[in-house]
Amino acid sequence: MRRVWPIILTMAVLGWLLPLGISPAWSYYPPLLATATFGPHIVTRQVHDPNLSQNDIVFTSVYLFGDQEIVNLQQQNGVIAWVLRSGTVYYVTCCVYDPVLGTANPGIYTPFQEDTRGPFTSVSQLQVGDGVVAYVAGIPSSTGDSTAYFEFKYTTYDPAKQAWQMRSWYDPGFHDLEIVTKDSVVVFLYQASGAYWIWADIYDPMKGTWGFGGAQGFNSPNPFWAVTINNATVNFYTVISGVAVGDTFGYFTGQGWYMGNITPPRAYFVARPTSGPASLWVWFTDMSIGASTWNWNFGDGNSSTSRSPYHHYDNKGTYAASQSINAGASHYESTINVGGAGIAPLLLLLLNN
């Protein structure tokens, strides 16, 4: 439901909302945080993996073909993205370190999981924030289409799928495009068809898709201002008929976006692997929505308050590993089987029959 306040009150509300942006509430957060350095023709990624004999993993890409050049690189909390210019076209590469895949392929393949998109006629507004890579891409004209156009592109890494999950957004009337990312939410603003538009999208890790139920949009005859994302809730303001108008988009996991609501916190994580011989390393990737504190119970008497912890199970057994966020506001758990736990009862049942 749309809310209307006098302009002076809206300014007061804005002054109260802005400080809320400091709380960590995003979704995907890798258990091992890689970093990158770069030069005009080189990108080097490095990470420390306690599960490998060569603990410090370094992987370098060199771009020397023709006039290739790295023109931009952004990184935050283990998520890295860079823009490569090759002649008159551009490519975007997104990168994270996946410790499970790194352990499975030591010394054979790069353990850094990368996804490269292009060619594009241009890349602008590259942002790496809170598990999401977002940018505006110029799309080359196709056969029979003499006009190039622009798209919003955004992606995040899903460890359950072991792949980057890309989505694009396009409108034939796009101009004055702008992106805001925070808390794993992507907000894109643009003008089209004589109106100003604001849309929001988020990756739903429980459904494994962007914008379950569709992205949420709103249009106004005037520009949007003071667009903020706080705890995965989108707040925006505009002026309609001389009156300041403010509203929110809230996302409900597995349902979709709802106007006039805030996003409720939802605990969720991906544990990998969930079974294996003792002793077993398990990587817990936090993918909660709207969280500011994390409390983990690994089921073997050990616990953690880290964001995305990793844990070493020494003994055989079946363990209920759980995550609780925001002082118990939401809870999620997964079963970890170490050393073939659960087989013995089945053998006893067969022997008794």
Q: How many CB atoms lie within 10 A of CB 290?
A: 27
Q: How many CB atoms lie within 10 A of CB 84?
A: 23
Per-residue confidence (pLDDT) for residue 353, from 0 to 100: 35
| pLDDT > 90 in the chain, percent | 60
Per-residue confidence (pLDDT) for residue 13, from 0 to 100: 29
Per-residue confidence (pLDDT) for residue 143, from 0 to 100: 55
Give yes or no for a cis peptide into 264 (omega within 30° of 0).
no
DSSP run (H or E) holding 351: helix 343-351
- Enter the pTM of the model: 0.85
Q: What is the pLDDT of residues 79-138, one digit of tens each?
A: 999 999 999 999 999 999 999 886 655 555 567 999 999 999 999 999 998 899 999 999
Specify the range with the lowest mean pLDDT, choosing from 10-19, 109-118, 144-153: 10-19
- The tokens of 245 are what? 């108008």
Q: Is the pLDDT of residue 174 over 90?
A: no
Total residue length of the chain: 353
Task: Give which of 319, 290, 284 is closest to 304, Cα–Cα.
Answer: 284
- The tokens of 122 are what? 């241009």
Q: What is the pLDDT of residues 220-250, one digit of tens each?
A: 999 998 899 988 999 999 998 889 989 999 9
- The CATH class of the 269-351 domain is mainly beta
Task: Tell the residue number behind the tokens 């209920």, with chain if given.
Answer: 320
Per-residue confidence (pLDDT) for residue 211, from 0 to 100: 82
Strand-pair category, 310-313 with 256-259:
unpaired
Burial 47-58 (b: 16+ CB within 10 A, else e): bebeebeeeebe
Strand extents, DSSP E, 170-255: 175-182, 185-192, 195-204, 209-210, 216-220, 225-230, 233-240, 243-252
Domain ranges in the chain are: 3-259, 269-351
Task: Tell the residue number behind the tokens 């004999």, with chain if given.
Answer: 53
Task: Give which of 92, 109, 111 is closest to 101, Cα–Cα.
Answer: 111
Residue 120 is given by DSSP the state E
The Cα–Cα gap between 257 and 252 comes to 6
Specify the range with the lowest mean pLDDT, choosing from 44-48, 71-75, 108-112, 277-281: 108-112
